[in-house]
Amino acid sequence: MKSIQMVDLRSQYERIKPEIDLAIQGVIENSAFINGPEVKAFAKELAEYTGAEFVIPCGNGTDALQIAMMALDFKPGQEVIVPAFTYVAAVEMISLLGLKPKFVDVTPDTFEMNPSELEKAIGPNVVGIIPVHLYGQCSNMEFILDVANRNNLKVIEDTAQAIGAVYSFSNGKKAQAGTMGHVGTTSFFPSKNLGCYGDGGAMFTNDPDLAERLNRIANHGQKKKYHHESIGVNSRLDTLQAAILRVKLKELDRYCAARNQVADRYDQAFKNHTSIKIPKRASNSTHVFHQYTVQIEGADRDALKSYLQEKGIPTMIYYPIPVPKQQAYLRYGYQTGDFPVSESLCEKVLSFPIHTEMDPAQQDFIIDSILSYF
Ligand SMILES: *Cc1c(COP(=O)(O)O)cnc(C)c1O
């Protein structure tokens, strides 16, 4: 049996090697390393895939969040609502821009912002909401968009973990993650569901004016070379990465299906287990299982993690500390007890290996090993 990894990028590459090698070779032959034709072609193909009107590639998913907030003209001192239990990127960019994060506790089953807490967080200085589609399924966008509309707030969807997930509105309308808010942001970090071979990111919008601003800000604030209309940043998707992503985008549906197959087997194995709480599927979103994250209840999570590690099975804790309690963000003055659900999740969550190349024998070994611990 091959050794077990959280993500097996090497085996994934083996399956598409001829096409990837050809794509990389093509870029080198062409030598248009920055803003080559593949970047535009990829943006167009990703727009077709997601249904977004505009896709603006950039350097990574964190830049995408920064550029989105700059394009929406958020001003220092204003507040942006974010979940307390999440990856740090959105909060980091909020702080860097002189904005203030307003944290909201999450739900204990789908890990999204708790709706009533979200409403309570609205205040005169709040200008935006950043829902994070954690682990691969959409937050309750219908509710979030409604709250945003009623309060004249902008919504930036952090879709780094959920590209390809489909949300269903109550009127039957469907939309992909990242295409429902004012701006959606995503990451092509290698281990993401649509990953390149280095750093990469993109922004989605349906608004032509915003698309122009996002493009301009990502490119030094210039529309015309050496004419800088606004302060910008330098954030580009390499041509090489775009060429790789064009190949991998064609595989994305297969990747999502493979991840769901792994998730279904874990669900079957653990659904009646007294100490393992399997992830709840949201009723209004498909799941692309960037992570398969359970909660360990009434047992020692960290001991289980070490036990599995000794058997050669990696697991991860996404995330061990709520963002408001990270040292860098203590300055905002939140206290222990402010986010009870987030705090408890940090003690309970454990993510099992899930990726596109998991072979059933590997997964049997993982499942048997987990069950043997209890
Ligand atoms: C990975 C990730 C990011 C950041 O993406 P980078 O490309 O690494 O900058 C942002 N938000 C979430 C939720 C992520 O998982």
DSSP at 100: E
CA of 80 to the centre of ligand 1 (A): 18
Ligand 1: which atom is nearest the Cα of residue 134?
13
201 in contact with ligand 1, CB cutoff 6 A: yes
Q: How far away, in angstroms, is 30 Cα from ligand 1 center?
A: 30
Q: How far is the CA of 166 from the centre of ligand 1 (A)?
A: 19
**Residue found by looking up tokens 């860097």 in the block:** 96
Which domains does the chain show, CATH number per domain?
Answer: 9-105+112-249 (3.40.640.10), 252-373 (3.90.1150.10)
Instruction: Tell me the per-residue pLDDT of 14-59, one tens digit each, with 9 for 90 and over.
Output: 999 999 999 999 999 999 999 999 999 999 999 999 999 999 999 9
pTM: 0.98
Residue 1 pLDDT:
85
Residues lower than pLDDT 50 in the chain: none
Q: Quick check: 103 and 82 in contact, CB under 8 A?
A: yes
Long-range CB pairs of 109-114 (<8 Å, 24+ gap) are 109/280, 110/137, 110/139, 110/280, 110/282, 111/83, 111/85, 111/135, 111/293, 111/345, 112/83, 112/139, 112/140, 112/282, 113/81, 113/83, 113/139, 113/144, 114/341
Nearest by Cα to 248 from 42, 64, 58, 32: 42
Q: Is any ligand 1 atom within 6 A of the Cβ of residue 198?
A: no
Q: Per the structure block, which two tokens stand in for 5?
A: 């990894």
Give the integer Cα–Cα distance in Å for 46 and 250: 10
CB distance 140 to ligand 1 below 6 Å: no
Does the CB atom of residue 193 touch ligand 1 within 6 A?
no
**Binding site membership of 83 for ligand 1 (Cβ less than 6 Å):** no
200 C-alpha to ligand 1 centroid (Å): 10
User: Is 92 touching ligand 1 by the criterion CB < 6 Å?
Assistant: no
**Ligand 1 pocket member 87 (CB < 6 A):** yes
**Can you spell out the DSSP letters for 110-133?**
T-SB-HHHHHHH--TTEEEE--B-
Which residue's CA is minimally distant from atom 3 of ligand 1? 61
Indicate the helix (H) or strand (E) that contains 211. helix 208-218
For residue 323 and ligand 1, the question of a CB distance below 6 A is answered with: no
**Helix then strand then coil, % of the chain, to nearest 5:** 45, 15, 40
